[in-house]
């Protein structure tokens, strides 16, 4: 029997929302499923911990890359130190 732990509202790239549901059964297996029921991912305890830890790290690394790219773009545009536009 699956026991619901929590629901997480997610938004996709098109702005559509759905809920992802984290569940656990009496054997200790975790399951992530969407509210439509067409997606199910089952993980044992250690796999769930490793998967979520690594995924969070990967997401953070990607966001860091995006922020560095934005920072580089901003600093590249601001190369005129004396404030005039003649160069």
Q: How far apart are CA 76 and CA 10, in angstroms?
A: 35
Q: How far apart are CA 2 and CA 22, in angstroms?
A: 10
Name the pTM for this structure: 0.72
Helix, coil or strand: residue 82: coil
pLDDT digits (tens, 9 = 90+) for 25-50: 999 999 999 999 899 999 999 999 99
The answer on pLDDT for 76 being more than 80 is no
Cβ within 8 Å of residue 32, ≥6 positions away? 20, 21, 22, 23, 39, 40, 41, 43
């Amino acid at each position: 029997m699956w026991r619901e732990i929590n629901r997480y509202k997610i938004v996709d790239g098109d702005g559509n929302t759905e809920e992802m549901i984290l569940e656990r059964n009496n054997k200790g297996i975790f399951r992530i499923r969407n509210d439509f029921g067409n997606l199910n991912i089952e993980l044992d305890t250690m796999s769930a911990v490793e998967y979520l830890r690594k995924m969070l790290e990967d997401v953070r690394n990607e966001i860091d890359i995006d922020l560095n790219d934005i920072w580089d773009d901003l600093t590249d545009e601001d190369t005129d130190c004396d404030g005039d536009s003649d160069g």
